[in-house]
Amino acid sequence: MEMAIIELAKEARKSLDEGRFVDAYNQVENLKKQGDNYYVSYLVSALLIDISQAMRKETILLEGLNLLKANFEKIIKEDRLVQSAYYNLANGYSSLFYYERIRNQYAALFKSSSLDKAKELYRKAIGYGLSDKMLASEIYVNMGNCFDQLGRVVDALDCYETAIRWKPDHGMALGNKAKALYYYSKLAGQFENTILIESYNLFIQALKFGVVPEAIETFTKSKDKIRSFFSDKSFLDNPLDYPTIEVKGESDIEKHLINYCLKNKLYLNICNYCQKCNAAIGDRVVIKRMFTQPPRSNEIEDNRFLYLSSIINQMKQDYIAARFLLVLSKYEGLNLSFVDKNVRIIDTMDCSVHNIYIQMMKIAFKCFYDILDKIALFLNEYLRIGMDKFKLYYSNIWYKNFNNKIIWPIILETNSFSLNALFNLHMDLLDGPFITLRKIRNRLTHGIVNIRMFQEKETYADMKDETLFNHSMELAKIVRSAILYLLMFVYNQEEKKERELNKISVTQIVPDLPDHLKSSR
């Protein structure tokens, strides 16, 4: 009986993949007649959700979503179904957002939406372990799509790259990465064409390997639009051979740091997702353009561009210092045990570990998290919100009334997806998948985080050193993304002012601080 049901489901899936959506729907109707049990509901609901995406029919989606939710607890009792059940339910909520956005194009801005539920469910699916390469790739693609619609293009790119690692010939992963790079290229300045060429070639690969029928037109139009930007098409048809990255350094530590940052995309650099030449090395992002009034005095606070740039400078210095401490804490080529000599540490008999390497991790973690509060300071100044700078944090900058979660009108009026990316990160830290990071930060700042050699049940207050390192790396990537989103927001706002005022914003011509001054003591 089950084999017959599976064959009917396969026929419907084949029709769907071939673009015969009406046939697929009719075959699902036949599948429904095979019995009223949770397994039939599992197959039918997944097909209805996918058919609804292709046919853009909300009634079909709601039928599939409600059917899956009604039988969900029974379905997930079977180990073979639990991961795909979470994946299907996530797809349902992700599809539901499509209709929410039709009714309100800003449906995801500065509030919770179906995308947040979808993100949560995709993460649960991943948590059951990944072995099927195609399923793993599809989960990351669809989770990346959620991030992309929330304005979190950097997180989306991370997801698409993970999907491609699982399945390098996955057309939808390649095509969605191409779309994200197309948007991302606006920040690339002199490297914009390089990223556009990368996007163009990814679209070609995606269409070559095959994508879902409804994506063919979208990807083709995007590819053709990029082509129209280039008067000399040879740059697209015969891309230049870029020099490979040449890592140079005055010490082994410096070369290790560069390689580590490249591998883990820890640079504050638009070229993180290209890495075709040495432009990918270093923390190069700055505020480049801004409408400013003539300064009233020579004080830095009176020069809006320089004052805001000073906040960015401090963020970057905090970030690179924290990153260095974190990478150094695991660097085996340097023995720092001398730092702990002649330091009396009482053996508290609880297997706690105390050494300079763990302390560097703790300091790095706190420093990374503190940068988020500096982002709040920047937003307060840039948007002229007017909060007391000594009472604002990343958690409260968004709210005119924190207790009632009333968003500042000036934030809502931006209708900015890049600013929403920062808000959505705040929500993930407040009561979402990153809540543990917030608890660790609070514990490190106001209490004690114990690092133990043996810890069976780990919590935000008691963990192994490897766990603290992994949490710190996760936080480093969150902060990297947050700084990039902040600069995207500024770029988009200044571009909007250009359109509204019909004027060209000034590219600020200011010197960089030379290296010999950065390294002086």
- Tell me the pLDDT tens digit for each residue of 402-449: 999 999 999 999 999 999 999 999 999 999 999 999 999 999 999 999
Residue 230 clears pLDDT 70, i.e. is over it:
yes
Q: How far apart are CA 392 and CA 397, in angstroms?
A: 6
Per-residue confidence (pLDDT) for residue 199, from 0 to 100: 94
pLDDT-derived band of residue 294, with 50, 70 and 90 as boundaries? low
> Between residues 293 and 67, which one has the greater pLDDT?
67
Per-residue confidence (pLDDT) for residue 5, from 0 to 100: 87
Residue 393 clears pLDDT 60, i.e. is over it:
yes
Give the CA distances from residue 325 to residues 197, 264, 331, 439, 468, in Å, rounded to whole numbers and listed in that order: 36, 15, 10, 21, 13
Per-residue confidence (pLDDT) for residue 509, from 0 to 100: 52
Residue 322 clears pLDDT 80, i.e. is over it:
yes
Give the CA distances from residue 30 to residues 13, 34, 62, 395, in Å, rounded to whole numbers and listed in that order: 13, 7, 19, 51
Per-residue confidence (pLDDT) for residue 287, from 0 to 100: 87
- Establish how many alpha carbons lie within 13 A of residue 272's alpha carbon, considering only the half-sphere containing its beta carbon: 25
pLDDT-derived band of residue 471, with 50, 70 and 90 as boundaries? very high
Q: Which long-range contacts (CB under 8 A, 24 or more apart) does 467-474 make?
A: 468/358, 468/361, 468/362, 468/365, 468/440, 469/326, 469/329, 469/330, 469/361, 471/365, 471/436, 471/437, 471/440, 472/326, 472/361, 472/364, 472/365, 472/368, 473/264, 473/326, 474/434, 474/437
Residues of the chain above pLDDT 70, percent: 94
Q: How far apart are the first and last CA of the chain?
A: 78
Per-residue confidence (pLDDT) for residue 349, from 0 to 100: 80
Buried b / exposed e along 488-514 (16+ C-beta atoms within 10 A):
bbbbbbbeeeeeeeeeebeeeeeeeee
Residue 111 clears pLDDT 90, i.e. is over it:
yes
pLDDT-derived band of residue 348, with 50, 70 and 90 as boundaries? confident
Beta bridge partners of 136: none
* Helix (H) / strand (E) containing 359: helix 356-382
> Between residues 122 and 212, which one has the greater pLDDT?
122
Mean pLDDT on 182-204? 86
Q: Out of 34-48, 192-206, 238-252, pick the least confident.
A: 238-252
CA Rg value for the chain: 25
Beta bridge partners of 289: 507
Per-residue confidence (pLDDT) for residue 145, from 0 to 100: 96
Residue 207 clears pLDDT 70, i.e. is over it:
yes
DSSP letter for 269, please: -
Residue 189 clears pLDDT 80, i.e. is over it:
no
> Between residues 521 and 240, which one has the greater pLDDT?
240
Phi–psi pair at 94, nearest 5 degrees: -60, -40
pLDDT-derived band of residue 242, with 50, 70 and 90 as boundaries? confident
Per-residue confidence (pLDDT) for residue 267, from 0 to 100: 96
Per-residue confidence (pLDDT) for residue 134, from 0 to 100: 95
Residue 289 clears pLDDT 80, i.e. is over it:
no
Residue 505 clears pLDDT 80, i.e. is over it:
no
Q: Which two tokens stand for residue 395?
A: 């958690």
* pTM, 2 dp: 0.92
Per-residue confidence (pLDDT) for residue 298, from 0 to 100: 60
Per-residue confidence (pLDDT) for residue 521, from 0 to 100: 56
How much is the mean pLDDT over the chain?
91
Domain boundary assignment for the chain: 241-284, 285-514
Q: How far apart are CA 270 and CA 72, in angstroms?
A: 42
Mean pLDDT on 272-291? 86
Per-residue confidence (pLDDT) for residue 114, from 0 to 100: 96
Per-residue confidence (pLDDT) for residue 517, from 0 to 100: 60
